[in-house]
Structure 1
Amino acid sequence: MSAKLYKEIDKNILVAIPNPSKEAYEIKIKIPEFTFLGVKQQPDFAQVYLTFYPKKSIIELKSLKQYVYHLRDITVSYERLINIFYDHLMEIYEPERLRIVMICNPRGGISSKCTIDSDWKVRGGDEKFKDWMHASGEDNWNVVM
């Protein structure tokens, strides 16, 4: 069996459903068993936290679960995976804001945490929420849900 590479990640698994409110609100989603194959085709494990400010649509959680299950057979580095995951969620849902925090379990005695926030200017954001600016590096490993 040949390895599935990151280019085979299918964003069409994700389903958008209409936002039931026109008012501003925040959705937080925790994915405690996020798994995929690392670049050496060994399983990698992470906890993923999504902060989502919807506009016209919200995430259908069943489709998100199916998308996450789909990743279990994909060979990819977590640095590339968080960027692909971010791009897919932004394209499908077009939220006001999306923040993804991926805390990877230790491998070889080293842990890693990757974060992307659509509010960052370097990501095209306006830096209007600014809550991420108060997070200091090593102190901010815990994510409050």
Structure 2
Amino acid sequence: MDATYRKTETTLRTDPDFFRLLSNSYSRLLGKPLVPEHVPIEDAPRWLYESAPFGLLAHNTAADPVFVYGNLMAQKLFEYDWDELTALPSRLSAEAPDRNERQTFLEQVERDGYVAAYRGMRVTRSGRRFWIDNVVVWQLHDDAGVHRGQAALIPSTSGE
């Protein structure tokens, strides 16, 4: 994601190539579509960013991964706008005591390709803690098999 998918952060919001990376990786690993089939393919990137009823985040492959994508629902959940979120090291989405657990989990995703039904404590920009529930986290590989990062689909949250 670093060179190919970094482009300018604002273009990734609805970029068709980045959407393909997200959706193809998801469907290849989980055997189901990321976006409902009733959404026309030409509208799918915009639907995912603007209308999806779940949070979706993606980070790159840097040594200290940085979010490169967060749909509007994810921005709302974490209380960051696009520019703030896409400058944030993803480890900062969890408080310091929870970061080791988060790192162990991400290593499991790397090893297994994806993990479903994850639950973890996260923190918003203002410091409010909340649980992410039934999360699916998966590896992002492009069509050539190059690892581009990881993504997380957050279908639900609950209070601390």
Query: Which band: TM-score by shorter chain?
Result: under 0.3
Structure number with higher strand proportion: 1
Q: TM-score, normalised by structure 1?
A: 0.26
Q: TM-score, normalised by structure 2?
A: 0.24
Q: Which has the larger radius of gyration?
A: 1
